[in-house]
């Protein structure tokens, strides 16, 4: 891993759409979001939680898993281990030790293996990672990880690059749809600014606890991206662009 992080930008402009917090608890809303994106023929990613709340071990929910795997225009990626633990705290990949990070990430991968899913992309809950967690991701062969605060991390066995990005557009800051309504105007302003500045990558994060009305804004933003000549790739399609 290099000590000095290289600023790097891909040449093509991309809009990356990801449904977060996918787990049986939120299955109804997750499927509504994914069905709408498929109806609109929009490529997307699903950030899947292997063992939500230390209760929902995915192999015990085969119908949920089969539905998630049935989507054709999407890529499934690892979203922590529990996402939220029994005590309500998020998985901590930004203050943890290397040993603890490896234990949790390996456990998530083992659950994915059991349900027949492979991934080399990791999205930590709250988009936060420390160097110890990054070392583990490199060791385990991940190609891509994502942080909220301006950077996308491109990982390899020798070094990683930080790729400067605008902050991800995110409507869920409280965990409660009715409280998250306050984020709609904020994200509208942020999106307009990003479209004016035309960065190389704009990220849209959909959550099951977004305000119900947010999906209209989100799909409209995605349509604007497409009309503005932004490609809408999955992470697997994005990685080669970032490696150039």
Q: Which of 1, 102, 109, 3 is nearest to 51 (CA)?
A: 109
Cβ-proximal residues to 117 (8 Å cutoff; 6+ apart), any chain:
48, 69, 76
33 HSE (CA, 13 A, CB side): 31
Sign of CA dihedral 109, 113, 116, 118: positive
Give the largest Cα separation in the chain, rounded: 46
Residue whose token pair is 């479209």 = 195
The per-residue DSSP string of the chain comes to --SSPPB---SS-EEEEEEEEESGGGHHHHHHHHHHHHHTT--EEEEE-TEETTTEEGGG-HHHHHHHHH-SSEEEEE--SSSB-TTSPBP-SSS--HHHHHHHHHHHHHHHHHTT----EE--GGG---HHHHHHHHHTT--EEE-SSSEEEEE-SS-EEEEE-PPPEE--SSS-TTTGGGHHHHHHHHHHHHHHH--SEEEEEE-TTS-TTHHHHHHHHHHHHHHTT-B---HHHHHHHHH-
Look at residue 11 in the predicted model and tell me its pLDDT. Answer: 63
N- to C-terminal Cα distance for the chain? 19
Residues of the chain with pLDDT under 50: 1-8
User: Residue 151 has what pLDDT?
Assistant: 66
* CB-CB contact of 104 with 81 (8 Å): yes
What does the pLDDT look like over 181-221, one tens digit per residue? 999 999 999 999 999 999 999 999 999 999 999 999 999 99
d(CA 238, CA 244): 11
The closest of 167, 180, 185 to 210, measured between CA atoms, is 180
Q: What is the pLDDT of residue 243?
A: 82
pLDDT at 10: 53
- Measured distance CA(153)–CA(100) in Å, rounded: 20
């Amino acid at each position: 891993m290099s000590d000095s992080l290289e600023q790097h930008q891909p040449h093509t402009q991309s809009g990356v759409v990801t449904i977060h917090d996918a787990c049986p608890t939120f299955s109804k809303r997750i499927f509504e979001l994914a069905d709408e994106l498929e109806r609109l023929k929009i490529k997307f990613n699903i950030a899947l939680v292997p063992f939500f709340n230390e209760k929902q071990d995915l192999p015990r929910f085969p119908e949920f898993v089969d539905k998630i795997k049935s989507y054709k225009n999407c890529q499934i990626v690892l979203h922590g281990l529990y996402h939220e633990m029994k005590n309500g705290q998020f998985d901590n990949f930004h203050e943890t030790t290397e040993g603890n990070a490896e234990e949790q990430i390996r456990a998530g991968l083992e659950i994915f293996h059991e349900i027949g899913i492979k991934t080399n992309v990791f999205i930590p809950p709250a988009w936060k990672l420390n160097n110890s967690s990054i070392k583990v991701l490199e060791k385990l062969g991940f190609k891509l990880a994502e942080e909220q605060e301006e950077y996308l991390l491109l990982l390899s066995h020798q070094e990683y690059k930080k790729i400067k990005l605008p902050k991800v557009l995110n409507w869920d800051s409280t965990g409660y749809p009715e409280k998250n309504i306050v984020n709609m105007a904020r994200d509208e302003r942020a999106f307009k600014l990003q479209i004016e500045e035309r960065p190389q990558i704009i990220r849209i994060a959909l959550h099951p606890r977004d305000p119900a009305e947010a999906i209209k804004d989100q799909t409209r933003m995605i349509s604007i991206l497409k009309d503005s000549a932004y490609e809408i790739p999955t992470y697997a399609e994005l990685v080669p662009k970032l490696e150039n």
